[in-house]
Homo-oligomer: A and B are copies of this chain.
């Protein structure tokens, strides 16, 4: 069965994004510190068309995702979108002409717009039917592989609350953000036990995979 995975970088003090998030700055103030570990990796640099980079213990974690993940679900702020309905010349998101996903991406939004096909195999489909519809569409396109929800937590929180999340891939980064968006932050989750599946120590990041218990 195709799993639904939430993959997120988190600070030592528990933030998945910095404060003052906006559509112009979806990572929030200081949020880029959470992603430094990834920017040096050869796999990531290759995916965004840059040369060089290092190969280390993180590589296997990213490679595993590349192999096992067949579709992506994200919120509108991660796609990038401007405010209000899409205009005549709609914003194409943060990702440029050749986005790094190289997969079908499903964007949760209140505003319908036509599918956007990019270079390198990435497509953006805009889903107005909510999280269930997005997951159904993503699974259909994932070709038996897993579906991943990257990022800031708003979308993952909805899937977790609905009991639809199977795994959490945490990238724990040795930095303190002091303020920002917390992982989950939901009193209803008190006492929820998850299963620690595997731990990978890598330079300047620890990768931990958890399985939700049903």
Contact = CB atoms under 8 A, between A and B. Distances in A.
The binding surface of chain A is classed by DSSP as mixed
Contact of A188 (B33, B178, B189, B205): B178
B33 A183 contact: no
Given A174-B196, A199-B201, 7 more contacts: A13-B189, A172-B172, A177-B189, A196-B204, A196-B205, A199-B206, A206-B208
A67 interface: no
A185 to B, nearest CB: 7
Q: How many copies does the complex hold?
A: 2
Interface residues on A, range: 35 or more
Interface of A: 12-14, 18, 29-30, 33, 168, 170, 172, 174-179, 182-196, 198-199, 201, 203-206, 208, 210
Contact of A33 (B18, B191, B204): B191
B30 A190 contact: yes
A12 B198 contact: no
